[in-house]
C-alpha cells in the first residue's frame, strides 16, 4: 500500500511534465524500434538460411561432402553402405526454366534419414508411391508454384531441353526449390552418376569402417550443427546491420538518459520530502525501478510495433540484396517469432535501467539535510569535463589496442565503437575549449554572455550533441565508404566487363557453331571464350574462372599486384590470378604456389597476381580458358565475350537473336550488365541509407527533446536578462544562435571523425568482413550536403522551443523573481 | 522622478477575478529612498514589477523621468529598464555563467553607459574588488547581493527597485547591505524603492508606504 502511494506521488510528476514524459517514451520507442526492426530482419534471414541449410542435409544432419571436388562418383554410395555407413545420396544444382533459375535437389527417398530437414511430403505412403513411380514427380511448394505461375501436374522443360517429372504440390517444402528422384536429377542436371553429398542417418547401425579407409580423401565428414556456407557468407552483412541497429539503440538511449536525468533533478525536492517523511532509500529506489520498468514496457510495446513496420518496409530491399549478393532466398514477407517480442522488451527494459543507473545510485546516496546548490555549475562542470576526458582517453587507448592486436571482425567493430564512443565523450571537452576561446575573444556584453551561457548549457545539451555527433559521423563515414566503394566499383566494372557483348550457350555443340559464325564476321574484333568450374580449396568453395589470352584482359583486368610477365604465365598454365578476398582468407601471397584439384589430377601453379573482385562472397581464381578446359572437360566452351567494332553492337545482338534464336537470358551487352550490377549495388546500400537517415532523425529528436525539456529549466538564466532590458524576441534569437552554433561546432567536429570512421570501415571492417580493401575517397560536396542537413535538423529541433520562448508570457518569466520560488 | 497614478491590476483566477492593486498613487523624488511594506500577497511585488515594466497594468499611469512606462511597447519598456532602472531581487538573479566583474558591468554595458571609474568605485565600496574574477557560485549570499546592488547601480539609473533584497540574508548582513545600498543610492543621486517585510529595515530609509488590500496608506 505504501509503495502504491509512493508510486502515485512519483507519477504525479509526469502528469505535470507531460512533455518530459513524452520525451522519455519517444526515446525508448525510437531505441527499441530501430533495434528490434533490424533484429527482425536478421532473424527472418537467419531462419531462412537455417531452413535452406537443413533441406536434405545441412545444419541438422551430419553429412559427407566431397573433399576437393564439387561432386563424387555414385559408386561411393554402394562402397559406403557396404562399409557400414548408413548414408543417402543427394545431388543438387540449378536449372533454368523459362526466365527463372531454380534450385533442383535430387534425393533417394528410401534411404533418406528421418531428420533430414522439412518433410517433403513423402511421409504419406500414397505420395511416396507417386514419387517412386516410373514417371516420377517433381515436388514444389504451393507458394512457389503460384509465384511462378505453375500448376500441379504441369511438366516443365529446362532451357537445355530436359523434361522434369510432373509437378506435385508439397505444402511443407521450402520456397524456390524443386525436389525429384536422384535419377531424374542426374539426367536433368547432366551429372550422370555424380553425387553432391551423402546424408548420414543418425539411427544406430553396426560397426563402420573409418572414412579415410573407405573413401580416401574424396569425402570429408561434416557434423550436424555446423555453420552453413550461407550463414558464413552472410555473417558480415548481418553484423553490419546489427551494428547499425545497436548504434540507433544507443542514440535512443541518449534521449532516455537525458530525460531521466532531468526528471531526477526536478524531482529532487519531492524525493527529499519522501525520504524526510520516512520512506527508506531502498524502498524509494525499488518504487522508482518499478516505475521505470512500467514505462519501459509501455514504450517497448509501442517501439516493437514501430520496429515491425520498419522491418516490413526494409525487408524487400534486404531480401533483394541477399539474393543479389549471396543467392540467398529470404521471403519478402515478415514472420515474427515470440522470442523477438521478448528479446525486444528485455532490451528496452535493460536499456532504460542502464540509462537510469546513475540517477538511481544518486537516489540511494541522497543526503537529506544538504540543500541544493543551484549555481555550483562551474565546479561540477570542471569535474565532469575532467571525468569525461579521462574516460574518453581510456576508451580511445582500448580502441587503439584493439586495432593493433585484434584480428577478428568483432574486434574491428570494437575499434569502430571505441573510436566513436571516445570521440563522443571528448566532444563536451572540445566544445568547452572552443566556447572558452570565443568567450575570451568576444567584445560586447551580450556576446560575452552568449558564449559563457553556452558553456554553462553544455552539460544539459551534451548528450543530445553527442548523439548528433555520432549520427553525423556515422552518416559521413558510411556515406564516404559507400561513395568510395561506388567509385571504385564503377572503375572496377570497366575492367571486369571489358567485352562489349556477353554470350552463354549451354549446349557446347551449338556453342561451337556460333563461335565459328562469330569468327567470320568482320564487325567482331575478337571472340574471347571463357569457362568456369567449381572446386574446394582448404574447405572453401572456390570458383575457377577461365579467361582468353587477349590484350583486352592484359590491359584492363583489375590487377592489384602482379609479377612481371604474369599473363604469359597464365597463358601457359604456370600461373594463376587469385582474388583479393580469397588471398586474404587463405593467406595466399604473390609468388606462393597453389594446388587446384581437377578431375585429371592436381594442377599446381604459381600465384602470379592478385586482383579485385568486389561483391563476390566466394573466392575466385582466374586461369586461362584453354588450360581450364583441358583439365575440366565437362565445363564446356559455352561462354564468350565479344569485342565488337564501334556502333555494331545492336546489329550483332540482333543477328545473334534472329539467326540462333538466342534470348535476353543468353545474350547481354556490356551496358545492360553494368546497369544491372549497379542496380544490385545501389539496392544493397539502400538499407544502409535508410538506417543512416533514421539514425540522423533520432539524433534530431534527441536534440529537440533536450531543448524542449531544458526550456523550462533555462528560465532562471534568461529571466534576469529580460529584466535587465533584453527583449524576449532578442533572447529567443540569441538562444537560437547559441544552439545553432553548438550544432555547427558539433557538425564540424563530426566531419573529420566521420572520415576517420570511413577509414576504419574501409581499412579495418571491410577487410575483415569481406576481404577487400578500397581506396578512400573524400567527397566535399557530399560532406557539405550532410552539414546542411545537420544544420537543418538542428534548426527544426531548435525552432519550437525558441518560438515558445519568444512568445512566452511575461508572467512565466516573472515567476522566476517570485519570493516563493 | 517616479509618478504612479491610479494604477490598477487584477488577475483572472478559476475562482474569479483577484484585484491586486486598486487605483494606487505613489510619487518618489530623486535622491529619496522609500520602503514599501505590506502583508504577504498584498501586491508589493506586483507594484514593483509594473513600475519596472515587467508586467502591464489594467489601468493607470506610470511615468519615469517624464516618460510613460505604462502603455509603452515591449521594446521601449526594455530600453527604459536598461537605461533608467536598476533591479535587485531577493534571489539575486545574477548570471551564473559570467564572472563577478562581468555581472557588475553587464547592464551598464548593454545600456552603453559603462563608466569604469564609477564601476571601480562601486566594486571598492561594495567590497568586491578582490572577487571580480570569481563566479557567483563562489560567493556567499551577502556578497552575491552586493554584486546585484552593484549591477543595478553601475548603469547610474534614475530609480533602483529592490524586491526583498535581504530576504535571504541574516540580520547583520541585511543591515549592512541596506545601509550600503542607501549610501550608494544617495551618492549616485538616484531614488530607491525597496519592498521589505521588516519594519526595522524600513526605518533605515527616508520614507515608508504601506500596501493594504491593494491600496497604499
Predicted local confidence at residue A371, as pLDDT? 41
Which chain B positions have a beta carbon within 8 Å of A738's beta carbon?
A: none
* Of the candidates A158, A139, A162, the residue with the CA atom closest to the CA atom of residue A56: A139
Does B106 sit within 8 Å of A727, measured CB to CB? no
Confidence of residue B162 (pLDDT cuts 50, 70, 90): very high
Which chain A positions have a beta carbon within 8 Å of B195's beta carbon?
A: none
Cell numbers for A662, please give them. Answer: 538466342
Does B105 sit within 8 Å of A724, measured CB to CB? no
CB proximity list for A464: less than 8 A, separation 6 or greater? A254, A255, A258, A699, A702, A703, A705, A706, A707
Does A377 sit within 8 Å of B93, measured CB to CB? no
Does A810 sit within 8 Å of B55, measured CB to CB? yes
**Shortest alpha-carbon distance between residue A821 and chain B (Å):** 9
CA distance linking residue A292 with residue A273, whole number of Å:
20
A716 touches chain B (CB under 8 A): yes
Whole-angstrom CA distances from A42 to A241, A273, A302 are: 8, 48, 20
Percent of chain B with pLDDT over 70: 100
What's the start-to-end Cα distance of chain A, in Å?
33
The phi, psi pair for A808, rounded to 5°, reads: -60, 135
The helix or strand, by DSSP H or E, that contains position A504, with its residue range, turns out to be strand A501-504
B40 vs A398, residue with greater confidence: A398
CA distance linking residue B182 with residue B194, whole number of Å:
10
Which chain B positions have a beta carbon within 8 Å of A807's beta carbon?
A: none
B52 touches chain A (CB under 8 A): yes
Search chain A and give the residue with CA nearest B168: A819
Predicted local confidence at residue A372, as pLDDT? 41
Whole-angstrom CA distances from B153 to A158, A320, B110, B124, B181 are: 98, 74, 14, 13, 9
CA distance linking residue A687 with residue A318, whole number of Å:
7
ipTM of the complex: 0.71
Other CB atoms within 10 Å distance of the CB of residue A404: 8
Other CB atoms within 10 Å distance of the CB of residue A281: 15
Residue with cell 524443386: A178
Q: What is the secondary structure of A8-27 as a DSSP string? A: HHHHHHHHH-HHHHHHHHHH
- Provide the residue ranges of all domains of chain B, joining segments of one domain with +: 29-57+73-216
The phi, psi pair for A176, rounded to 5°, reads: 55, 40
Most B-contacting residue of A724, A811, A814 (CB-CB within 10 A), to test interface:
A724
Give pLDDT tens digits for A758-804: 898 888 887 877 778 888 889 999 899 888 888 887 888 788 778 87
The structural architecture, per CATH, of the domain B29-57+73-216 is 3-Layer(aba) Sandwich (3.40)
A812 touches chain B (CB under 8 A): no
**Residue ranges in chain A modelled with pLDDT below 70:** 1-2, 49-60, 68, 99, 114-125, 203-206, 223-237, 239-241, 244, 255, 258, 262, 273, 276-278, 323-333, 367-379, 664-665, 684, 705, 708-713, 811, 815-821
CB proximity list for A40: less than 8 A, separation 6 or greater? A307, A308, A311, A334, A336, A340
Predicted local confidence at residue A812, as pLDDT? 73
Does A723 sit within 8 Å of B52, measured CB to CB? yes
Cell numbers for A744, please give them. Answer: 555547427
Predicted local confidence at residue A277, as pLDDT? 65
Residue with cell 553492337: A649
Give pLDDT tens digits for B133-160: 998 888 888 889 889 999 999 999 999 9
Predicted local confidence at residue A803, as pLDDT? 83
Let me know how many helices (H) and strands (E) chain B has, helices first.
Answer: 7, 10
CA distance linking residue A126 with residue A130, whole number of Å:
6
CB proximity list for A798: less than 8 A, separation 6 or greater? A703, A704, A707, A735, A736, A739, A740, A743
Predicted local confidence at residue B132, as pLDDT? 94
B163 touches chain A (CB under 8 A): yes
Whole-angstrom CA distances from B57 to A373, A653, B9, B48, B49 are: 36, 89, 5, 11, 10
Within chain B, what is the greatest distance between any pair of CA atoms?
A: 54
Which chain A positions have a beta carbon within 8 Å of B80's beta carbon?
A: 725
Does B110 sit within 8 Å of A726, measured CB to CB? yes
Amino acid at each position: 500500500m505504501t509503495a502504491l502511494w509512493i508510486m502515485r506521488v512519483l507519477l504525479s510528476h509526469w502528469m505535470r511534465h507531460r512533455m518530459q514524459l513524452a520525451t522519455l517514451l519517444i526515446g525508448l520507442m525510437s531505441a527499441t524500434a530501430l533495434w528490434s526492426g533490424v533484429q527482425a530482419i536478421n532473424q527472418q534471414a537467419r531462419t531462412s538460411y537455417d531452413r535452406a541449410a537443413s533441406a536434405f542435409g545441412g545444419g541438422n544432419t551430419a553429412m559427407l561432402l566431397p573433399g576437393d571436388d564439387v561432386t563424387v562418383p555414385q559408386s561411393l554410395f554402394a562402397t559406403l553402405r557396404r562399409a557400414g555407413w548408413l548414408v543417402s545420396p543427394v545431388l543438387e544444382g540449378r536449372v533454368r526454366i523459362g526466365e527463372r533459375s531454380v534450385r533442383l535437389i535430387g534425393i533417394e527417398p528410401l534411404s533418406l534419414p528421418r531428420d533430414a530437414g522439412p518433410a517433403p511430403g513423402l511421409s504419406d505412403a500414397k505420395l511416396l508411391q507417386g514419387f517412386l513411380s516410373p514417371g516420377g514427380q517433381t515436388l514444389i511448394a504451393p507458394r512457389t508454384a503460384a509465384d511462378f505461375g505453375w500448376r500441379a501436374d504441369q511438366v516443365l522443360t529446362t532451357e537445355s531441353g530436359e523434361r522434369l517429372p510432373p509437378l506435385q504440390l508439397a505444402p511443407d517444402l521450402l520456397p524456390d526449390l524443386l525436389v525429384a528422384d536422384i535419377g531424374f536429377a542426374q539426367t536433368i542436371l547432366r551429372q550422370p552418376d555424380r553425387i553432391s553429398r551423402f546424408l548420414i542417418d543418425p539411427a544406430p547401425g553396426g560397426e563402420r569402417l573409418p572414412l579415410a579407409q573407405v573413401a580416401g580423401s574424396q569425402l570429408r565428414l561434416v557434423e550436424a550443427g555446423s555453420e552453413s556456407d550461407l550463414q558464413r557468407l552472410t555473417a558480415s552483412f548481418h553484423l553490419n546491420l546489427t551494428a547499425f541497429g545497436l548504434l540507433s539503440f544507443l542514440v535512443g538511449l541518449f534521449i532516455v538518459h537525458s530525460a531521466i536525468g532531468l526528471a531526477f533533478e526536478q524531482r529532487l525536492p519531492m524525493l527529499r520530502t519522501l525520504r524526510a517523511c520516512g520512506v527508506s532509500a531502498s524502498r524509494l529506489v525499488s518504487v522508482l525501478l518499478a516505475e521505470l520498468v512500467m514505462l519501459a514496457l509501455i514504450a517497448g510495446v509501442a517501439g516493437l510495433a514501430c520496429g515491425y513496420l520498419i522491418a516490413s518496409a526494409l525487408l524487400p530491399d534486404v531480401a533483394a540484396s541477399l539474393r543479389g549478393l549471396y543467392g540467398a532466398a529470404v521471403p519478402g514477407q515478415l514472420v515474427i517469432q515470440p522470442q523477438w517480442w521478448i528479446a525486444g522488451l528485455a532490451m528496452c527494459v535493460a536499456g532504460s535501467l542502464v540509462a537510469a543507473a546513475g540517477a538511481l545510485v544518486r537516489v540511494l546516496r541522497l543526503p537529506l539535510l544538504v540543500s541544493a546548490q543551484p549555481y555550483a555549475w562551474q565546479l561540477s562542470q570542471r569535474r565532469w569535463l575532467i571525468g569525461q576526458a579521462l574516460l574518453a582517453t581510456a576508451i580511445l587507448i582500448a580502441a587503439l589496442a584493439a586495432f593493433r592486436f585484434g584480428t577478428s571482425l568483432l574486434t574491428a567493430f570494437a575499434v569502430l565503437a571505441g573510436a566513436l564512443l571516445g570521440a563522443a565523450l571528448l566532444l563536451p571537452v572540445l566544445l568547452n575549449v572552443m566556447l572558452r576561446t570565443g568567450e575570451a575573444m568576444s567584445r560586447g556584453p551580450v556576446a560575452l554572455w552568449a558564449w559563457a551561457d553556452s558553456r554553462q548549457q553544455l552539460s544539459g545539451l551534451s548528450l543530445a550533441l553527442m548523439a548528433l555527433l555520432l549520427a553525423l559521423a556515422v552518416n559521413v563515414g558510411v556515406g564516404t565508404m559507400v561513395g568510395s566503394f561506388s567509385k571504385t566499383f564503377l572503375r572496377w566494372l570497366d575492367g571486369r566487363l571489358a567485352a562489349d557483348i556477353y554470350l552463354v550457350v549451354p549446349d557446347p555443340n551449338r556453342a561451337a557453331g556460333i563461335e565459328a559464325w562469330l569468327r567470320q564476321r568482320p564487325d567482331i574484333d575478337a571472340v574471347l571464350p571463357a569457362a568456369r568450374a567449381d572446386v574446394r580449396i582448404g574447405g572453401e568453395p572456390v570458383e575457377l574462372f577461365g579467361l582468353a589470352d587477349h590484350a583486352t584482359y592484359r590491359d584492363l583486368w583489375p590487377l592489384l599486384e602482379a609479377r612481371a610477365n604474369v599473363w604469359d604465365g597464365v597463358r601457359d598454365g604456370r600461373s594463376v590470378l587469385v582474388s583479393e578476398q580469397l588471398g586474404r582468407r587463405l593467406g595466399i601471397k604473390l609468388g606462393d604456389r597453389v594446388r587446384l584439384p581437377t578431375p585429371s589430377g592436381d594442377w599446381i601453379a604459381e600465384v602470379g597476381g592478385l586482383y579485385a573482385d568486389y561483391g563476390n562472397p566466394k573466392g575466385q581464381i582466374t586461369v586461362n580458358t584453354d588450360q581450364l578446359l583441358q583439365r575440366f572437360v565437362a565445363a564446356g566452351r559455352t561462354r564468350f565475350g565479344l569485342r565488337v567494332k564501334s556502333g555494331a553492337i545492336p546489329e550483332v545482338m540482333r543477328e545473334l537473336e534472329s539467326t540462333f534464336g538466342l534470348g535476353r537470358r543468353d545474350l547481354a551487352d556490356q551496358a545492360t550488365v553494368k546497369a544491372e550490377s549497379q542496380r544490385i549495388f545501389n539496392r544493397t546500400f539502400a538499407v544502409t541509407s535508410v538506417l543512416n537517415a533514421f539514425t540522423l532523425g533520432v539524433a534530431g529528436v534527441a536534440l529537440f527533446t533536450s531543448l524542449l525539456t531544458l526550456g523550462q529549466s533555462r528560465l532562471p538564466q534568461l529571466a534576469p536578462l529580460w529584466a535587465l532590458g533584453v527583449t524576449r524576441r532578442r533572447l529567443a534569437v540569441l538562444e537560437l544562435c547559441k544552439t545553432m552554433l553548438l550544432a555547427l561546432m558539433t557538425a564540424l567536429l563530426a566531419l573529420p571523425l566521420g572520415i576517420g570512421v570511413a577509414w576504419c570501415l574501409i581499412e579495418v571492417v571491410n577487410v575483415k568482413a569481406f576481404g577487400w580493401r578500397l581506396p578512400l575517397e573524400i567527397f566535399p560536396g557530399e560532406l557539405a550536403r550532410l552539414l546542411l542537413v545537420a544544420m537543418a535538423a538542428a534548426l527544426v529541433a531548435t525552432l519550437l522551443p525558441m518560438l515558445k520562448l519568444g512568445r512566452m508570457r511575461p508572467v512565466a518569466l516573472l515567476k522566476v523573481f517570485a519570493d516563493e520560488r | 522622478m517616479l509618478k504612479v497614478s491610479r494604477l490598477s491590476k487584477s488577475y483572472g483566477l478559476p475562482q474569479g477575478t483577484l484585484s491586486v492593486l486598486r487605483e494606487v498613487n505613489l510619487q518618489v523624488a530623486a535622491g529619496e529612498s522609500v520602503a514599501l511594506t505590506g502583508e504577504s500577497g498584498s501586491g508589493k511585488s506586483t507594484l514593483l514589477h509594473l513600475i519596472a515594466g515587467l508586467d502591464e497594468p489594467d489601468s493607470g499611469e506610470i511615468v519615469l523621468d517624464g516618460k510613460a512606462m505604462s502603455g509603452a511597447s515591449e521594446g521601449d519598456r526594455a530600453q527604459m529598464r536598461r537605461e533608467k532602472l536598476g533591479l535587485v531581487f531577493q534571489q539575486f538573479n545574477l548570471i551564473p555563467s559570467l564572472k563577478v566583474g562581468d555581472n557588475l558591468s553587464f547592464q551598464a554595458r548593454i545600456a552603453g553607459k559603462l563608466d569604469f571609474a564609477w564601476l571601480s568605485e562601486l566594486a571598492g565600496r561594495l567590497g568586491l574588488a578582490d572577487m571580480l574574477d570569481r563566479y557567483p557560485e563562489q560567493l556567499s549570499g551577502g556578497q552575491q547581493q552586493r554584486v546585484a546592488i552593484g549591477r543595478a547601480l553601475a548603469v547610474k539609473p534614475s530609480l533602483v527597485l529592490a524586491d526583498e533584497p535581504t530576504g535571504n540574508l541574516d540580520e547583520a548582513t541585511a543591515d549592512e547591505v541596506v545601509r550600503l545600498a542607501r549610501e550608494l543610492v544617495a551618492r549616485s543621486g538616484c531614488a530607491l524603492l525597496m519592498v521589505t517585510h521588516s519594519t526595522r529595515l524600513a526605518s533605515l530609509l527616508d520614507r515608508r508606504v504601506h500596501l493594504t488590500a491593494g491600496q497604499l496608506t
